[in-house]
Each structure stands twice: as structure tokens, then as C-alpha cells.
Amino acid sequence: KAVRERRLPDWQPVVDAVAHWDVATPTEDGTTPVGDPVVRRGAALLLEALEEFTRALDERGGSTRVSSTLAKN
């Protein structure tokens, strides 16, 4: 929707979900993180691609989010 409205997308919910998967124990809501490193790495790479897409949309060439630390896991 943000792209259609010519705004930069906000990937914070995706960042939060990927970060949740790196939690070692179940959270207060009872959900457990994804333990498969392939799934976590794939999600981090997808997030990186989404952020590159956002930078490409941005006329200034900047990004509204930085999550390169997630891609290191």
C-alpha cells in the first residue's frame, strides 16, 4: 500500500518478527522462536532484499531501516 501511495514501506513488523525468532526461550505470549537456522537466514535475506527495494524507491537513495545485524545470524 505504501508503494502505491508513493511512500517508503515500513518493514519494522518484519524486523520484529525476525528478531523474535532469535529469542532463546518462549515469550510471554507462549510462542517459541523458529529454531531452524536456514529459515532464519532466509528471512534475514528476504528482509535485506526488502530494504534494498525501499532504497531503490527512495529518490534520495537512503533507507528508513537498517537491519544488517539480522543478516549476520
Q: What is the pTM of this model?
A: 0.57
Given a contact cutoff of 8 angstroms between Cβ atoms, the answer to whether 39 and 17 are in contact is no
Residue 42's region, left for phi above 0, alpha for psi from -120 to 50, else beta, is alpha
Higher local confidence (pLDDT), 40 or 22: 40
Q: What is the mean pLDDT of the chain?
A: 74
Domain boundaries, the chain: 12-71
Give the model confidence (pLDDT) of 24-59 as tens digits. Answer: 666 677 666 666 778 888 888 999 999 898 888 886
